Amino acid sequence: MSPARIAASIFLGIALLLAGWWVVYGPWDHDGGAYLLRGAYAADGLRPYLDYPSIYPPLVDGLTAVAVHLPLGRLAIAILLPIAWILANCIATAVLVYVITKDWIASLILSGVYALFAIANGGNHLTLEHAIAFFGLLAFASASAGRLGLAAFFAACATLSKQNGILVFVPILAYSTRRDFARMIAAAAVPVAAVVAWIRDVPAMAKACLSDLITYSRQPAITPRLSTELMRSPETLILFLIVAMAVVLARSRIVVWLALACAILEFLPRVVRNYPHYTINLWPFLVLILAIAMPRMRIAIPAIAVLAFVLVGYRTRWRSPSPLLATFEPTAQFVARITPPDGRVRQYGAEPIIEFLANRKEDVINKPVAAVFGAKWDGSGMYSTPPDPSTTVVLVDRGQPWMRSVYENLLARGFVNMAIFGRIAILRNRPTLPARAAAPH
């Protein structure tokens, strides 16, 4: 094995270790808890759109349900599942680059870059974007190898992970001919048929994934300005510039221009909502462009790898406490201890990771779509009735203006404060005279 290949392998290993550290100790995003809890509901036989709210295709919920069925504790799943997605995307990146370039060194380096790219863009938690990247990478690798039926299968899986995954189909068309279309359509129909057989209500799925998504996207949301991207993750912006250079150097191959157009379209949602993890959707298109232009990009790839490693390492807060281990796990353990296995939990807040780790169901699972997928997800507007006296109530106080009135009404109804973990309070009921309670609006 050459020294360069050994160095590339070491870089990949260190990048994966750093990604694992970020999963445990990095900033927490409540989306991760939401997707884990939805996967747990799917594992219990509940269906999205019908039994619990969703505005996205259901494939990731199904895959998460498989993970929930593994003989692992809930905390282990919460940690290992995002790491597994990052590792899977590193492997898929290497496969795509090697299929096109037959260069193991470039494959290993770009695999390590993905690990850094993911954690630099909010991928240290469970998110739908990991699935789009994974299936997109495998689709492009299959198309590059002439396996267009398999490419269409993976492109359909990307689409069933999140709606914008449908753009994965576009570059594949540059590899196909009319004779391939029937085979591609048949292959793409396989995962679609599997999902339809699971959900068994196409109109409900179509309404949620189209009209409800459009309603959600039209709501104003307060997110950081896009101009802050340079300060947040300068290595991501530099990677974009390298990809733009690669487009010019790739000698105008149509698949490169199609991939560039799709990457631009994948970035547009960040104009509406500047959520960094949306950037992960661009990854398969960026890798496809870089791999095709690789003979002219051999110096730039190691350069961005070193730069990304240095900048991500510099931003890593090595002594910061783990939100999972220091806050959510002890909170969930206490909730599980005071709530019977068949008991229910009501949360006024936006941290479903607590119910997931506690292995307890919400008292109201099928909440209004507009409340769960609103522009401001803080626990407001989700309940129209007070909690049942047998319910464990969790208050996640992030400064919501309605939180004090909810707390006072819970006390008036006979709930008592059982424990406090940081800004999270846990309440249970004691017998008392009925009192009027209000729900947050």
* pLDDT at residue 237 in the model: 86
* pLDDT at residue 431 in the model: 58
Kindly give the parts of the chain with pLDDT less than 70. Answer: 221-224, 226-227, 229-230, 252, 374-378, 431-441
Q: Which domain holds residue 355?
A: 323-429
* pLDDT at residue 229 in the model: 66
* pLDDT at residue 356 in the model: 97
* pLDDT at residue 433 in the model: 43
Do 192 and 236 fall into the same domain?
A: yes
* pLDDT at residue 300 in the model: 82
Do 400 and 294 fall into the same domain?
A: no
Q: Read off the pTM.
A: 0.92
- Number of independent structural domains in the chain: 2
Last residue of a domain, which of 315, 338, 370?
Answer: 315
* pLDDT at residue 158 in the model: 98
Do 306 and 364 fall into the same domain?
A: no
Note whether residue 435 is domain-resident: no
Do 295 and 329 fall into the same domain?
A: no
Last residue of a domain, which of 315, 350, 380?
Answer: 315
The Cα–Cα gap between 81 and 71 comes to 13
